[in-house]
Amino acid sequence: MLEITNVTKKYDDFVANKNISLKINDGVLFGFIGPNGAGKTTLIKSIVGIHEFDEGTITIDGYDIGNDPLEAKKHLAYIPDNPDLYNNLPAIDYLNLMSDIYDISESDRKEIIEKYSKMFGIYDVLGDFVSTYSHGMKQKLAILGALVHNPKLLVLDEPFVGLDPITTKQVKDILRSLCDSGVTIFFSSHVLEIVEKLCDEIAIIKNGEIIVQGKTKDVTSNKDLEEVFMELLGNESE
C-alpha cells in the first residue's frame, strides 16, 4: 500500500530525512515515533505530497506521489495535528464540501457519511455548526471528512493530542475498525503507550534516520515501548 524507498529531504542547513525506506501493507496500523525535530512531520508531508523531496520514491497503492500526484492523492487522506474545519459551516456542509472535492455522488456520500457519523457518535449533530463542536468531536469530524472518498491510506499527525480519555478510546476503536476493513493507517504520536497497544508495526526515527522498525511485538520484545525508546534515544528531550 505505502512504499517509501530511499527518500532524502534536504534543507539549506540540514538533512531532515536521510535515505528512509519503509514498506507498509494493506490493513496495517503503523506508528511512527521519535523526538521533536527528528523528521516525522517532514516525512509525513512528503508522503502526502505537500513537500517535494530530493531523492527516492514514495508510492501509494502503486501510484508515485512525485510523478503522478493527483492519482496518488485519490487513494490517501491526510489529517494534520491542527486540521482546519471551517467553523462557520454546519458539519454536514463541511462533509459535503469534502465530497464535492472528490466528486463523490450524492448516493455514495450519503451512505459514507451516515455509516461513519453513526460509528463516531456524531450523526445527530451533523446539522450543528463546527464551532459548537468539542475538540474531540472536531477530531472525529476531521477523520470522517477524510474518509468520504474511501481512501486506502489514512495519514495522521498526532491524532490524540488534547483528547480526553473517553474520546481517545473512541478514536482508537475507530482506527482499529478501519484497519480491520482494509484501510492502512500511518500516524505519528508522542503517546508511546497508545502506539504500543494499538499499532501492528512501528518505526522510530532519530536525526532524520530510521533507527529501528518492525512488528511492535518484535521491537518491544520483553520490554515496554517507553523503555526501548529511551534506550535508543538516550536522554534526548521529547
Q: Which DSSP string do the residues of 55-123 spell out, in sequence order?
A: EEEEEETTEETTTSHHHHHTTEEEE-SS----TTSBHHHHHHHHHHHTT--HHHHHHHHHHHHHHHT-G
pLDDT tens column, 151-165: 999 999 988 887 888
Domains and CATH numbers, the chain: 1-75+152-238 (3.40.50.300), 83-150 (no CATH)
Average pLDDT, stretch 41-49?
Answer: 95
Cβ atoms < 10 Å from Cβ of 102: 15
Whether residue 175 contacts residue 30, with contact meaning beta carbons closer than 8 Å, is answered with: no
Strands 209-215, 201-206: pairing is: antiparallel
Cα(208)–Cα(205) distance, integer angstroms:
6
Q: Which DSSP string do the residues of 113-140 spell out, in sequence order?
A: HHHHHHHHT-GGGTTSBGGGS-HHHHHH
pLDDT (0 to 100) of residue 222: 84
pLDDT tens column, 169-195: 888 998 999 899 999 999 999 999 999
Q: Check residue 45 and report its DSSP letter.
A: H
Q: What share of the chain is helix, strand, coil (3-state, %, to 5)?
A: 40, 25, 35
Sign of CA dihedral 203, 205, 208, 211: negative
Question: Residue for cell digits 506521489?
Answer: 65
Average pLDDT, stretch 195-206?
Answer: 95
pTM, full prediction? 0.90
Cβ atoms < 10 Å from Cβ of 166: 9
Radius of gyration of the chain (CA): 18
pLDDT (0 to 100) of residue 232: 87
Average pLDDT, stretch 42-71?
Answer: 95
